[in-house]
Amino acid sequence: MLAAKQQYLDRLKAVLRALPDAGKTMACTISVAKDKLTAPNSVSNAWAWMTLSQGKELGTADLRNATTDAIEKTEYPGAALVLGFRKSPTAPTDVASSVDAPWAALRLLHLTNARRDTKDAHKWLLELPVKDAQGKAWSVWLQLVFEQDLPELADWPNTKK
Protein backbone atom coordinates (compact mmCIF):
# COMPACT_ATOMS: atom_id res chain seq x y z
CA MET A 1 0.00 0.00 0.00
CA LEU A 2 2.81 2.38 0.83
CA ALA A 3 4.43 1.82 -2.58
CA ALA A 4 1.15 2.69 -4.33
CA LYS A 5 0.83 5.91 -2.32
CA GLN A 6 4.43 6.85 -3.10
CA GLN A 7 3.85 6.21 -6.81
CA TYR A 8 0.74 8.42 -6.72
CA LEU A 9 2.70 11.22 -5.00
CA ASP A 10 5.59 10.93 -7.46
CA ARG A 11 3.18 11.19 -10.39
CA LEU A 12 1.41 14.14 -8.78
CA LYS A 13 4.74 15.95 -8.32
CA ALA A 14 5.64 15.40 -11.98
CA VAL A 15 2.36 16.94 -13.14
CA LEU A 16 2.59 19.84 -10.69
CA ARG A 17 6.11 20.67 -11.95
CA ALA A 18 4.60 21.12 -15.43
CA LEU A 19 1.96 23.61 -14.26
CA PRO A 20 2.38 27.39 -14.00
CA ASP A 21 3.09 29.07 -10.68
CA ALA A 22 0.10 30.49 -8.80
CA GLY A 23 -1.35 33.56 -10.53
CA LYS A 24 0.51 32.88 -13.79
CA THR A 25 -0.43 31.18 -17.04
CA MET A 26 1.40 29.09 -19.59
CA ALA A 27 0.86 28.87 -23.32
CA CYS A 28 -0.23 26.00 -25.53
CA THR A 29 -0.13 26.50 -29.30
CA ILE A 30 -2.83 24.57 -31.12
CA SER A 31 -2.71 23.74 -34.81
CA VAL A 32 -4.43 21.33 -37.16
CA ALA A 33 -2.32 18.27 -38.00
CA LYS A 34 -1.83 18.90 -41.74
CA ASP A 35 -1.06 15.31 -42.67
CA LYS A 36 -4.43 14.10 -41.31
CA LEU A 37 -6.65 16.43 -43.38
CA THR A 38 -7.01 13.92 -46.22
CA ALA A 39 -8.26 11.00 -44.08
CA PRO A 40 -11.74 9.72 -45.07
CA ASN A 41 -13.23 10.71 -41.68
CA SER A 42 -11.47 14.09 -41.50
CA VAL A 43 -13.58 17.11 -40.61
CA SER A 44 -12.28 18.64 -43.84
CA ASN A 45 -14.78 16.41 -45.67
CA ALA A 46 -17.66 18.07 -43.82
CA TRP A 47 -16.47 21.63 -43.07
CA ALA A 48 -13.96 23.96 -44.67
CA TRP A 49 -13.09 26.13 -41.67
CA MET A 50 -12.39 25.73 -37.97
CA THR A 51 -12.28 28.54 -35.45
CA LEU A 52 -10.63 28.44 -32.05
CA SER A 53 -11.90 30.61 -29.22
CA GLN A 54 -10.88 31.08 -25.61
CA GLY A 55 -13.06 33.85 -24.28
CA LYS A 56 -12.63 35.51 -27.70
CA GLU A 57 -11.90 34.20 -31.17
CA LEU A 58 -8.19 33.43 -31.42
CA GLY A 59 -7.86 32.23 -34.98
CA THR A 60 -9.23 30.34 -37.95
CA ALA A 61 -7.85 27.37 -39.88
CA ASP A 62 -8.62 26.52 -43.48
CA LEU A 63 -9.31 22.78 -43.25
CA ARG A 64 -9.09 22.29 -47.01
CA ASN A 65 -5.56 23.70 -47.13
CA ALA A 66 -2.84 21.21 -46.27
CA THR A 67 -0.50 24.07 -45.40
CA THR A 68 -2.53 25.19 -42.39
CA ASP A 69 -0.27 26.64 -39.71
CA ALA A 70 -0.72 27.20 -35.99
CA ILE A 71 -4.00 28.83 -35.12
CA GLU A 72 -3.03 30.61 -31.95
CA LYS A 73 -1.65 30.31 -28.47
CA THR A 74 -4.10 29.43 -25.77
CA GLU A 75 -3.54 29.84 -22.04
CA TYR A 76 -3.79 27.45 -19.15
CA PRO A 77 -5.32 28.06 -16.77
CA GLY A 78 -7.76 30.07 -18.82
CA ALA A 79 -11.27 30.20 -20.25
CA ALA A 80 -12.93 27.22 -21.94
CA LEU A 81 -11.74 26.31 -25.44
CA VAL A 82 -14.33 26.24 -28.20
CA LEU A 83 -13.62 24.75 -31.61
CA GLY A 84 -16.22 25.80 -34.18
CA PHE A 85 -16.71 24.23 -37.59
CA ARG A 86 -18.23 26.07 -40.56
CA LYS A 87 -18.63 25.77 -44.32
CA SER A 88 -16.97 29.11 -45.16
CA PRO A 89 -15.00 31.77 -43.28
CA THR A 90 -18.08 33.99 -42.88
CA ALA A 91 -20.74 31.29 -42.45
CA PRO A 92 -22.27 30.66 -39.04
CA THR A 93 -20.81 27.85 -36.96
CA ASP A 94 -22.52 24.53 -37.78
CA VAL A 95 -21.05 22.51 -34.92
CA ALA A 96 -18.98 23.49 -31.89
CA SER A 97 -16.95 21.40 -29.50
CA SER A 98 -16.18 22.89 -26.10
CA VAL A 99 -13.57 21.91 -23.51
CA ASP A 100 -14.14 23.15 -19.97
CA ALA A 101 -12.01 25.75 -18.18
CA PRO A 102 -9.69 26.39 -16.48
CA TRP A 103 -7.36 23.61 -17.69
CA ALA A 104 -8.90 23.17 -21.16
CA ALA A 105 -5.63 22.55 -23.01
CA LEU A 106 -4.69 19.82 -20.53
CA ARG A 107 -8.21 18.35 -20.60
CA LEU A 108 -7.90 17.89 -24.37
CA LEU A 109 -5.17 15.33 -23.72
CA HIS A 110 -7.54 13.22 -21.64
CA LEU A 111 -10.57 13.37 -23.95
CA THR A 112 -9.51 10.95 -26.61
CA ASN A 113 -6.67 9.46 -28.62
CA ALA A 114 -3.68 11.56 -27.50
CA ARG A 115 0.00 10.78 -27.64
CA ARG A 116 3.14 12.67 -26.81
CA ASP A 117 5.82 13.15 -29.46
CA THR A 118 8.65 10.67 -28.92
CA LYS A 119 11.33 13.31 -29.51
CA ASP A 120 9.77 16.43 -27.97
CA ALA A 121 7.86 16.18 -24.68
CA HIS A 122 6.33 19.61 -25.39
CA LYS A 123 4.41 18.29 -28.44
CA TRP A 124 1.26 16.19 -28.45
CA LEU A 125 -0.93 14.85 -31.24
CA LEU A 126 -4.57 14.13 -30.52
CA GLU A 127 -7.72 13.12 -32.32
CA LEU A 128 -10.83 15.04 -31.34
CA PRO A 129 -14.13 13.47 -32.44
CA VAL A 130 -16.76 15.83 -33.83
CA LYS A 131 -20.35 14.86 -34.71
CA ASP A 132 -22.38 16.63 -37.36
CA ALA A 133 -26.09 17.44 -37.04
CA GLN A 134 -27.00 13.98 -38.37
CA GLY A 135 -24.79 12.28 -35.77
CA LYS A 136 -22.05 11.24 -38.19
CA ALA A 137 -18.63 11.09 -36.55
CA TRP A 138 -15.71 13.04 -37.96
CA SER A 139 -12.20 13.59 -36.60
CA VAL A 140 -9.99 16.60 -36.32
CA TRP A 141 -6.37 15.87 -35.47
CA LEU A 142 -4.71 18.62 -33.49
CA GLN A 143 -1.12 19.28 -32.59
CA LEU A 144 -0.62 20.90 -29.21
CA VAL A 145 2.71 22.40 -28.21
CA PHE A 146 2.94 23.17 -24.51
CA GLU A 147 5.33 25.66 -22.98
CA GLN A 148 6.49 23.03 -20.48
CA ASP A 149 7.21 19.30 -20.83
CA LEU A 150 4.31 17.15 -19.67
CA PRO A 151 4.54 13.58 -18.40
CA GLU A 152 3.10 10.74 -20.47
CA LEU A 153 -0.62 10.27 -19.73
CA ALA A 154 0.13 6.89 -18.15
CA ASP A 155 2.34 8.73 -15.64
CA TRP A 156 -0.35 11.12 -14.42
CA PRO A 157 -1.80 10.40 -10.97
CA ASN A 158 -4.90 8.25 -11.06
CA THR A 159 -7.27 7.77 -8.14
CA LYS A 160 -9.23 4.99 -9.86
CA LYS A 161 -8.72 1.54 -8.39
In a domain, 158, yes or no: no
The structural domain count of the chain equals: 1
In a domain, 112, yes or no: yes
In a domain, 13, yes or no: no
CATH value at residue 53: 2.60.40
pLDDT one-digit tens code per residue, 83-125: 999 999 889 999 999 999 999 999 999 887 899 999 998 999 9
Q: How far apart are CA 59 and CA 95, in angstroms?
A: 16
In a domain, 10, yes or no: no
In a domain, 78, yes or no: yes
Q: How far apart are CA 79 and CA 98, in angstroms?
A: 11
Q: For the residues 38-47, what does the mean pLDDT come to? A: 94
Q: For the residues 6-12, what does the mean pLDDT come to? A: 86
In a domain, 12, yes or no: no
**Model pTM score:** 0.88
pLDDT > 60? residue 68: no
Domain that includes residue 40, residue range: 26-149
In a domain, 119, yes or no: yes
In a domain, 160, yes or no: no
pLDDT-based confidence at residue 66 (cuts at 50, 70, 90): low
As a dihedral over the C-alpha atoms of residue 153, residue 154, residue 159, residue 160, rounded to 10 degrees, the angle is 110
